[in-house]
Amino acid sequence: MPDHKTMREHPHLKKFGQRLTEPKIWHLNRRSVAGGVALGLFIGFMPVLGQMFIAAALAIVFRVNLPLAVMGSWITNPFTVAPIYFFAYKVGAWVLQIPVGKHAFTMSWQWFTHDFLMIWQPLLLGCLICGIFSALLGVVFVRLLWRLVVIRNWLQRRKREINRI
């Protein structure tokens, strides 16, 4: 990790001021890691541009682990974005009780003015539901994994102490 002075003086990072040098956004503790993973997963499901920047900015605001928040937003990448958003659309359509239509995507103005207007509500609702669910699942997974690692370390330390005696 670069030192705080280098980060404070970097021309692109100066606008964040002291917030970027906040220790809570870089340290690995149970709450910071769980919050970073949850934030990243939630933002990763949102159909917006610049997910990494949004995740980084919100990690600074909420003081959760910034690298994990950015990495969590990578759940949607060029390989996974289509199936994830299609699944989110299906979830939203199911909740709204709208039949899932066959909408062929073409990068055209006509598609955005006609087909997108028909799917935006179930897509956004599905993304919100999937984002919340994945964030909650991420928190549970991190906290459970953290707990198991702490218990394992405690048992190993206890075993070493018993073997010394």
- Between the CA of residue 85 and those of 49, 99, 126, 164, what are the distances in Å? 14, 16, 8, 56
The model's pLDDT over 19-74, given as tens digits with 9 standing for 90+, comes to: 777 777 888 889 999 999 999 999 999 999 989 989 988 998 898 998 899 999 99
Q: Which of 72, 98, 82, 66 is nearest to 2 (CA)?
A: 66
Domain ranges of the chain: 4-164
SS3 at position 165: coil
Contact by Cβ (8 Å): 95, 125: yes
The residue type found at 129 is I
- Tracing tokens 């018993």 back to the chain, one arrives at 162
Q: What is the pLDDT of residue 91?
A: 95
Against a cut of 0.85, is the pTM above it? no
Q: Which of 84, 62, 63 is nearest to 73 (CA)?
A: 84
Q: Both tokens of residue 84?
A: 């994830």
Q: Rounded distance, CA 14 to CA 135, Å?
A: 30
Percent share of the chain, pLDDT over 70: 85
For residue 65, report the phi and psi dihedrals to the nearest 5 degrees.
-60, 115
- Between the CA of residue 139 and those of 38, 58, 63, 96, what are the distances in Å? 6, 17, 15, 27
| Averaged pLDDT of the chain | 86
